[in-house]
Amino acid sequence: MSGLTPEDFAAVLLSLKVALAATLCGMPIALATAFAQARGRFAARVLLDAAVTLPLVLPPVATGYVLLLLFGRRGLIGEWLEKVGIVFAFDWTGAALAAGIMAFPLMVRPMRLAIEAIDREVDEVARTLGAGAVIRFFRVTLPLAAPGVAAGAILGFAKALGEFGATITFVAAIPGETLTLPAAIYGATQSPGGEARAAALCLVAAAIAIAAVLVSDAVGRWAGRASRGSS
């Protein structure tokens, strides 16, 4: 695309890599959290709800700084992880961690709503037929909640793709290492004569976002048909 540099293309590919990693790693945790929120009956549920919502209400820069304190090379956790070869600070894996945390609430909410919408009697019937909790989850709950799970995955991917504040605070914007698409757009707007680059990058971001919405709609329809067919 005219106006884009090899560094810009690398930033686009890195953003896709970061968003995909954040979504794939966050999905199982988000699904378990959504199930606990929808079906759980425990005293600390209000604390869980607050923790899930926290990334939405905290300034992204604050989230990034907390991650730096925890997972930086001299952080409370990062110092120990580095001894076993796991490094998040100033690495693309750190960008995925930050993006995953910021996207987490958007992944959880559609899943939670989908699970809450499932008639409890369906699960109860499966239980009386001898199905255990794990079997009921994978054979009953998960298929019926599939549209919400798909929506959560796409929303999480889109949010992770566009994450900027927490990511740049935690891992900076190192070209070829941690420079993501939003950081590249910001850098282009701050460079003399960079308006064309910024506009081209915005078009790329818009195209990816539209593709994500179309995929979400298609997957949601497919999952809805599949869940109706299995019920």
User: What's the pLDDT tens digit per position in 87-111?
Assistant: 898 899 999 999 999 999 999 999 9
Q: Write the CA distances from 17 to 151, 152, 179, 219, integer angstroms.
A: 19, 18, 12, 21
Q: What percent of the chain has pLDDT over 70?
A: 94
Quick one: average pLDDT of 131-147? 85
Q: Using an 8 Å Cβ cutoff, are 34 and 108 in contact? A: yes
pLDDT at 204: 92
Instruction: Read off the pLDDT of residues 47-86 as tens digits, 9 standing for 90 and up.
Output: 888 899 999 999 999 999 999 999 988 888 988 998 888 8
**Residue 75 resides in a domain:** yes
**Residue 108 resides in a domain:** yes
Q: Rounded to two decimals, what is the model's pTM?
A: 0.87
Helices (H), 58-145: 60-71, 78-83, 92-116, 120-128, 133-136, 142-144
Q: How far apart are CA 215 and CA 210, in angstroms?
A: 9
Instruction: Read off the pLDDT of residues 155-178 as tens digits, 9 standing for 90 and up.
Output: 999 999 999 999 999 999 888 889
pLDDT at 228: 60
Model confidence at 227: pLDDT above 70? no
**Residue 1 resides in a domain:** no
Model confidence at 1: pLDDT above 60? no
**Residue 216 resides in a domain:** yes
Q: What is the total count of domains within the chain?
A: 1
**Residue 32 resides in a domain:** yes
Question: What are the residues whose beta carbons fall under 8 Å from the beta carbon of 211, sequence distance 6 or more?
Answer: none
Lowest model confidence (mean pLDDT) among 35-44, 158-167, 172-181, 216-225: 216-225
**Residue 28 resides in a domain:** yes
**Residue 214 resides in a domain:** yes
Instruction: Read off the pLDDT of residues 175-209 as tens digits, 9 standing for 90 and up.
Output: 888 999 999 999 999 888 888 889 999 999 999 88
Which CATH number belongs to the domain containing residue 99 in this structure?
Answer: 1.10.3720.10
Which structural domain, as residue segments, surrounds residue 126? 6-230
Average pLDDT, the chain: 88
| pLDDT, greater one: 217 or 151 | 151
